[in-house]
Structure 1
C-alpha cells in the first residue's frame, strides 16, 4: 500500500477498535461495503457444508465479528484494503438492531417509517442516527435478547430495510467512493419500539402473537401489547422468566396510563409464557410479581 492507501485502513481500524470498547462486535469491510477478507472456502465444492467460522480461519464476513481487540487487529492485518468496518447485529443480551432508511430513486424511507408508526400506533424514539453517503439514514436500536429479527429489504415499507441476526450495519467513519458514513445524532441507543418489533418478526411468530391475543377487545389488543406478547414468545430457555417479568412491568405501566386493561395484560402474557415453555403457575407468579413491583414503585 502507498501512504495514501493506508489512510482509510488506519482510520477504519481505529474506529473499529473504539467500537469494540463500546461493546459492538465488528469486522473489516472494503470500499464496496462488502467483507474485506475473501472466504477461505471459495474453492470448496458446492456440496461442502456451509461454514460460519467454525474452521477458525478469517473470511466469514459478519461471522468474523469480534469484541476482542487482538483478534480484530489480526483481521485487519489480513485485510490491507479495508476502508471501514461492519457492526454485527442481533447478538448478545442487548442485541443491536438496525433500520436502514433509503432516500433515493423517488423513495423516502424516513417518510415510510413515519407512516408505519402512525398506522400501527408507536413512536420512534430518539436514538443513534448515522447518515449514509447516498443520503439515507441508519437508526440504531436494541431489542430483547433472543429476538428473532430477520434481515429484510422493503418488507415493512418502501425504503425500509431491517438489519437483524446475520446482518450488519456499516460503522460510522467507514469510507466508500461516494463518501463516508457519519454520526448525525450520538446518544444512548434506544430500545426498539415494541409495535415496530412485532412487525419485524417472522410470520410464524406473528401467528402465535395473534393466537395468544385471541378474544381480546380492540382496545386491549394494542400494538404495545402485541409487541410484549411477541417478546415472551421469542424468549430463550433460561431467559423466559426475566423477559416475562420485563414484559409484564411494561404492560402494567401502560395499564396504569389507561392504554390497555390489566386483565388483558395478565391473560395475554400468561398465555404467551405457557406457549414458550413455562408452567401456568410459574407464569402467573412472575406476572403477579411484576404487578406488585409496579404498585409499590
Structure 2
C-alpha cells in the first residue's frame, strides 16, 4: 500500500509474532493488538492506495529473516557534535519552564523513525500544560531534522487532539 507521505506498507497473513519497531532498519512490524491504516483511509485529504497485490507464501513471514536482509541505517546529522551541544544548551536555556526543558531534551534525543510520533507527543504534553509558546520544541525539531511542514502538521494535530480531550 502506498501511504500519503510516500511510504510503503506491506501486509502479510497474521502470525503470533510480537509487534517490533526497528527504526534503525526503517521497519515497523505490527501484530496482534496493533492497528495499521490501509485503503480507503485518508490522511490530510490524501488516500492510502493499493500499489500491487500478491499472494504470500504459506507459513507466513519470519520477521527476523526480513530484518537480516536490511542494512542498518546510520544515525548521522549534518551538524558537528560541538555545534549540537551548543545548540542544545541554548535551547534548554530558552525553554520557558522545567517541564518545557524536559520536553525539549526528549525531542533532541529522537532518532530517525521515531521523530514525528514523539514530537507529536511532546507537543501534546506542552499544550496540555498550557504552554502556548512552542518555539523551543520547534527549534529542537529542526535540530533533529524535522521539516517545518512536518512539525506544522504535528502541531495542528496535537492541538486538535488535546482540544477534543478537554471537551470530553
TM-score (norm 1): 0.26
Q: Which has the higher contact order (CA 8 A, sep 6+)?
A: 2
TM-score under structure 2 length normalisation: 0.44
